[in-house]
Structure 1
Amino acid sequence: MKKKIYLIATTVLLTLAVFNSYAATNDDDKSKGITKEAIANMTEEQKQARVEEIKQRVEEIKAMDKSQMTKEERKELKTELKSLKQEAQAMGGGGVYLSVGAIIIIILVLILIL
C-alpha cells in the first residue's frame, strides 16, 4: 500500500512541476552580436557588468518623456526593452516553477511520510 502511495505521489509531483529555461535568444539578439555562445564565454564579472548596463538603460527609458515621441519611436523603445529583458533572462539562467497544486501535494506527501 505504501509503495502505491509513493508511486502516485511521485507521478503527480513530476507532472505538476514545470521547468522553464529562458536562455533562448532570437534573431534580433544575433544581429546585435549577442548569442548563447557569447553569453556562455562571458565571465561572471562581465555578466554582472552587462546586467548593470541593462538596468541603467531601462532606468533611462523609464525616465524619458514619451508623450512627445512618435508612434514609431515608442515602438522601437518597446522592442528594445523586450530584447534587453530577453538578454537579462539569458544571463540569469532559468528557474524552477511549481504550481500551487504541486506545492499542496508536496506538503501532503511530507505529512504522509512523517
Structure 2
Amino acid sequence: MKKLKIIFLLPALLFFFTLRGLSEGINDANAPVNLPSKQELAIMSEQQKQALVQQMKDRVDYIKAMDKSQLTKAERKALRTELKDMKKESRAVTGVYISVGALIIIILLLIIII
C-alpha cells in the first residue's frame, strides 16, 4: 500500500514542481518589476520598451488597488520608493515631452531676449 502511494504521489509532485518552475518566468502584476539599467535600455527594441511600460502600468494599478492600511511602515516606504523608481524609469523609456503652452512660453522668451 505504501509503495502504491509513492508511485502515485511522485509523478504528481514532479508535475507540480515543473509547473511552478515554468511559471517563475511569467511576470505577475503583484511582483515587483525588474528595472533595466541605462545600457540595457539603450539596446532594447521599441516592442520591449512598450512591454516594460505595460508591466510598470500593471504594477502601479496593482499598488493603487492594494489595501495599504494593513502594511507596515517599512512596506509602505518600499512601495513608495518602488513607485518613484518606476516613474523615473518610465520617463527614461518614453522620454519627456514639452507641452504646447511651454513651447509658446519658451519661444516668447527667446523673442524678448533677442
User: TM-score normalized by structure 1?
Assistant: 0.57
Q: Quick check: 1:102 aligned with 2:106?
A: yes
Question: CA separation in 2, counterparts of 1:57 and 1:33?
Answer: 12
Matching residue within 90, 95, 112 for 1:93: 95
Change (3 A) 1:64 1:49: same
Tell me how many residue pairs correspond in the alignment.
76
Q: In proportion to residue count, which structure has more strand?
A: 1
Give secondary structure in 2 for the equivalent of 1:51.
Answer: helix
> After the TM superposition, which residues 18-37 of structure 1 pair with which residues of structure 2 at under 5 Å, given as runs?
34-37=36-39
Q: Which residue of structure 2 lines up, in the alignment, with residue 66 of structure 1?
A: 68
**Percent identity over paired residues:** 46
RCO comparison, higher one (Cα < 8 Å, 6+)? 1
RMSD: 2.3
* Unpaired runs of at least 5, structure 2: 1-33
Give secondary structure in 2 for the equivalent of 1:95.
Answer: coil
Specify the code of the residue in structure 1 equivalent to 2:62.
E
Q: 1:26-81: per-residue Cα shift (whole Å, max 9, x none)?
A: xxxxxx66221111100000000000000000000000000111111100000000
Specify the code of the residue in structure 2 equivalent to 1:102.
I
Superposed structure 1 runs of 4+ greater than 2 Å apart: 94-106
User: TM-score normalized by structure 2?
Assistant: 0.57
1:95 Cα offset (Å): 2.9
Per mean C-alpha deviation after superposition, the further-off stretch among 67-76 and 94-103 is 94-103
Which structure has the larger Rg over C-alpha atoms? 2
* Unpaired runs of at least 5, structure 1: 1-31, 110-114
Contact 2:35 2:89 in 1 (8 A): no
